A and B are shown apart, each in its own frame.
Chain A
Amino acid sequence: MSDSSPNALVKSKTFRRIKHFFVQIGDLSYFAGRFFKEVFSPPFEFRELLRQCYQMGVLSLFLVGLTGFIIGLVLTLQSRPTLIEFGAVSWMPNMVGISIVREIGPVITALICAGRIASGIGAELGSMRVTEQIDAMEVSGTNPFKYLVVTRILATTLMLPLLVVFGDLIALYGSALVENIKGNVSFQLYFNTVFDALNWGDLIPATIKSFFFGFVIGLVGCFKGYYSTKGTAGVGIAANTAVVMASLFLFIVDFIAVFVTDIFYEL
């Protein structure tokens, strides 16, 4: 007979998991609060920030560019037959342009960065935690939160919008290439049509959303790595959960962003 007393409920695995989830949310909120407290107080670690911007921005260009190119290419190739069927193939640049700039570009780039950057930060900080490098930093008089966490979160927040713009342009180029080969549409005509179709209501929310995506990726990666425990196994767990949690939060942020955008721009 199963025990349904309140005590048994409190001891159950499901209850513990739910409790753990809310504790994690609470800890993450506190971590975010500490970031905002530390980001505005000196000393500022500009050199480390630049290094992180290079690591997270410049070194992600190839991956983001390649993914964007393939997305643009595939999206156009897959949509062509349907649009031809409805005699609407001339709307291709508009459709691809708007969908990439508004949604696909930011979300795909953020997911790629969650995989590359959040896991990287989680593993790096986790390994620094278990090998006492973070303690060594603290003892040497450097605030490790400021040096490791603030710089990384700032770098992802600043770099992600730039990566999104880069990814969008490459995706549009991929799409234009298909249209050029299959539909004899010149690159100039394609891009003119895309930019005519786009308005500020497409660009501004997407850019603002990208800042939040970058913040979430940096925050979750740092949070998981900074509080990593359980030795080397914990490093793997930190990297893994950083990607899962960051990806989940990206979709939540995206949902909120679309909801808010709808209020201001009536999508």
Chain B
Amino acid sequence: MNSKHMEKTGIVATKETQNLESKTNGKAVIRIKDVCKSFGDNKVLNGFNMELYEGENVVVMGKSGSGKSVMIKCLVGLLAPDSGYIEVMGKEISTLDRQTLDELRSDIGFLFQGSALYDSMTVRENLEFPMRRHKEKLGYVSDTTSLVLEALENVGLAHTMDLMPTELSGGMKRRIALARTLILKPKIILYDEPTSGLDPITAKEIIELMRSIQNKYGTSSIIITHDVDCARVISERMILLVDGINYAEGTYAQLSVSKDPKVDAFFKK
């Protein structure tokens, strides 16, 4: 953690933070150390650090273009950081070969911002797609219907199995994408702006769904969002990403009363 900034924002070593630390003293499933990533002259991440503990929900907030999505894409190997260290479930991402990385990815669910459902496939085929390479993990089931149905029931859309993505609303697409994420029973879920572009009611439903999934499966999650309401409801810990570093970190209650103008800007209505 960038202690200089933490001191500057006055959100370090409060009693609540210490409690949080004892709570998160468990096993870290993700460790990010001094990660830097640039695109040309644009330095997006400039020494970012964070840890995610087992069963924890961490919300990462930041302005558009601050590198939040880049950071979680580095976590699953979609982007390679220029420097720094990323460890997911005890394995350093940059040292993994394709096969090991794919095996690791089966333990990481990724909910994309625009849902990223495959247009040319039905909902059922969308959900079956991740299973093709991970049959071993699922116990070589010949009939995938029950698994697909279970995942769809989790998101309350069992009736959409034979529909095409174009026949679904934005909220339904997001739920189906979540079901697709869940089909391999991941241990970690990365949410990239799960409520963006949704109306407040649907957004609330998605947040509830995320909470129920975490309760049911005990997953650890990183949630990238702009939505302060989403952060308030779901976060156990929050990280504010400013200028490529973790500028401030703490609980929602701590950060929302911060006097630091950069922190305060996120919570102003």
Contacts and interface: CB of A to CB of B under 8 A. Distances in A.
A139 interface: yes
A142 B116 contact: no
Given A135-B73, A135-B78, A136-B110, A141 B105 contact: yes
A142 B110 contact: no
Interface residues of A, number: 16
Interface string A113-153: 00000000000100110011101111111110000000000
A133 B106 contact: no
B138 to A, nearest CB: 12
Given A135-B73, A135-B78, A140 B116 contact: no
Interface string B97-131: 01000110110101011101111100000000110
B76 interface: yes
B72 to A, nearest CB: 10
A140 B108 contact: no
A124 B113 CA distance: 19
Interface residues of B, number: 25
26 contacts: A131-B119, A132-B112, A132-B113, A132-B114, A133-B116, A133-B118, A135-B78, A135-B112, A136-B118, A138-B78, A139-B76, A139-B78, A139-B108, A139-B110, A140-B105, A140-B129, A140-B130, A140-B133, A140-B184, A141-B103, A141-B105, A141-B130, A141-B133, A142-B129, A142-B133, A143-B98
Contacts of A132: 112-114, 116
A132 B73 CA distance: 11
B27 to A, nearest CB: 23
Given A140-B133, A142-B133, 17 more contacts: A124-B120, A127-B119, A128-B118, A131-B114, A131-B116, A132-B113, A132-B114, A133-B118, A135-B112, A136-B112, A138-B78, A139-B105, A139-B110, A140-B105, A141-B105, A141-B134, A142-B132
Contacts of B119: 127-128, 131, 133
Contacts of B110: 136, 139
A142 B98 CA distance: 10
B178 to A, nearest CB: 13
Contacts of B105: 139-141
Contacts of B116: 131-133, 135-136
A132 B106 CA distance: 18
Contacts of B78: 135, 138-139
B165 to A, nearest CB: 10
Contacts of A43: 133
Interface in A146-188: none
